[in-house]
A and B are shown apart, each in its own frame.
Chain A
Amino acid sequence: GAVVSQHPSRVICKSGTSVKIECRSLDFQATTMFWYRQFPKQSLMLMATSNEGSKATYEQGVEKDKFLINHASLTLSTLTVTSAHPEDSSFYICSASSGFGRTEAFFGQGTRLTVV
């Protein structure tokens, strides 16, 4: 299957700083990228859906100004957690699809964010 690379795999940051997570589709053009958040022993919660060149669509309850998503090209999407707080500590996973969500989505390896 196609490869999605997510970087970094782990990051520790101080409270109040910002962290950027990258998601790249290595061998296909990702029309749509999804960002998920996963709490320990829980499922993936969809945070936002982004289509290349458009503004991301955020799920209800997700703060747009806190979780900035940029999908500037067909192979790269970034999630920036701004002014991070300890409660933002979580596992963040991206996925990329070459179709509009209906085709298979390929997942990155996830990023473990710890805010201290």
Chain B
Amino acid sequence: AQSVTQLDSQVPVFEEAPVELRCNYSSSVSVYLFWYVQYPNQGLQLLLKYLSGSTLVKGINGFEAEFNKSQTSFHLRKPSVHISDTAEYFCAVSGRNDMRFGAGTRLTVKP
């Protein structure tokens, strides 16, 4: 079975600063990796995904992530955040027939 660890439960940053949300995974099989964003009382919206090919993946809203197989990581980055990026972010790994989520990182962007 696969598992996901999000290393930071909360990340406060100032507006226009860069941010990195960290994610590590473990799996005995090859996996697909995802980042989702969740706003209060809503479902999840896909930011980006890694299925194969280039290890640098670009997503919506200016986010990108890099798949590092040797370090089993899939960290999410944004060079300049906005107030509207304040939300909960979940890293997820998909294996043979399920999808597992990390505990989430609460990103708070301050003015």
Contact = CB atoms under 8 A, between A and B. Distances in A.
Interface stretch (A11-19, A61-69, A70-78, A93-101): A93-101
A49 B97 contact: yes
A46 B95 contact: no
Contacts, number: 63
Given A104-B49, A109-B42, A110-B43, A43 B101 contact: yes
B34 interface: yes
B63 to A, nearest CB: 16
Interface string A24-57: 0000000010101000011110100100000000
6 contacts: A6-B43, A34-B98, A44-B44, A46-B99, A103-B94, A104-B34
Chain B interface main SS type: strand
A93 B38 CA distance: 12
A113 interface: no
Interface of A: 1, 4, 6, 32, 34, 36, 41-44, 46, 49, 91, 93, 95, 97, 100-110, 112
A102 B44 contact: no
A95 B99 contact: yes
A49 B99 CA distance: 9
A100 B45 CA distance: 20
A76 to B, nearest CB: 17
B43 A105 contact: no
Contacts of B102: 43
A44 B34 contact: no
Contacts of B43: 4, 6, 93, 107-110
